[in-house]
């Protein structure tokens, strides 16, 4: 479940990055891609409620599963909201303010995963799984914070910064998602 979520959210953020950087001629392209990827992420969540997460196991994993579930729901809603903005040309400031809330929530999830490793015994596999499970919420926190400052306060000088953070952050998140899937398959 984790790897699929990371890939879908990475793809939605990649699509938004192209829009922010001005590489789409109109917002509907980004809107369709982001909305579909957000709905697929929600579908992954619905499927994930019956199947437990594959990388999180051990004692004390209930809190981590809850934190990951909250992260999936929040970012899936974000992708759907970005898609609605692109499809119907809604105001961008609402996405910016939601990104502010999202950055704080992602930071909390990052701290939950970071503290879980300090307690020990949560991850049965290895340190690499902990690193990927902690790195993704941290990258999502940074991306959401940059988007918050760019869209909520309409600071136009941050357009390229936000676009490149979205582009590189989404690429790393997608790569970590592919790694998570190969770790499960292997």
- Contact present, 121 and 58 (Cβ < 8 Å): yes
- Lowest mean pLDDT, pick from 85-89, 128-132, 137-141, 170-174: 128-132
Q: Is the pLDDT of residue 8 over 70?
A: yes
What confidence score (pLDDT) does residue 59 get? Answer: 54
Q: Is the pLDDT of residue 164 over 90?
A: yes
Closest CA to 75 of 2, 180, 159: 2
129: pLDDT confidence band, cut at 50, 70 and 90?
A: low
- Lowest mean pLDDT, pick from 123-137, 142-156, 157-171: 123-137
What confidence score (pLDDT) does residue 123 get? Answer: 55
**What are the chain's domains?**
2-185 (1.25.40.600)
185: pLDDT confidence band, cut at 50, 70 and 90?
A: low
What confidence score (pLDDT) does residue 41 get? Answer: 87
Q: Which residue has the tokens 């902990």?
A: 130
What phi and psi values does residue 62 have, to the nearest 5 degrees? -65, -40
59-112 per-position pLDDT tens digit: 556 777 788 888 989 999 999 999 999 999 888 899 999 999 999 999 999 988
Q: Who has greater pLDDT, 83 or 183?
A: 83
Q: Is the pLDDT of residue 114 over 70?
A: yes
What confidence score (pLDDT) does residue 62 get? Answer: 74
17-66 per-position pLDDT tens digit: 999 999 887 888 899 999 999 999 888 777 755 445 555 555 556 777 78
What confidence score (pLDDT) does residue 96 get? Answer: 93
What confidence score (pLDDT) does residue 51 get? Answer: 45
């Amino acid at each position: 479940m984790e790897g699929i979520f990371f890939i879908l959210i990475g793809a939605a953020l990649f699509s938004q990055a192209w829009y922010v950087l001005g590489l789409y001629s109109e917002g509907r392209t980004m809107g369709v891609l982001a909305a579909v990827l957000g709905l697929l992420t929600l579908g992954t969540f619905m499927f994930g409620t019956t199947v437990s997460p594959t990388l999180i196991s051990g004692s004390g994993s209930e809190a981590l599963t809850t934190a990951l579930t909250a992260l999936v729901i929040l970012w899936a809603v974000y992708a759907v909201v970005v898609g609605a903005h692109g499809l119907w040309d809604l105001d961008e400031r609402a996405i910016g303010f939601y990104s502010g809330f999202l950055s704080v929530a992602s930071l909390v999830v990052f701290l939950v995963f970071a503290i879980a490793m300090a307690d020990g015994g949560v991850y049965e596999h290895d340190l690499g799984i902990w690193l990927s499970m902690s790195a993704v919420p941290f990258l999502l926190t940074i991306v959401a914070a940059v988007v918050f400052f760019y869209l909520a306060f309409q600071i136009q000088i941050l357009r390229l910064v936000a676009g490149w953070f979205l582009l590189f952050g989404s690429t790393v998140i997608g790569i970590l998602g592919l790694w998570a899937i190969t770790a499960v398959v292997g």
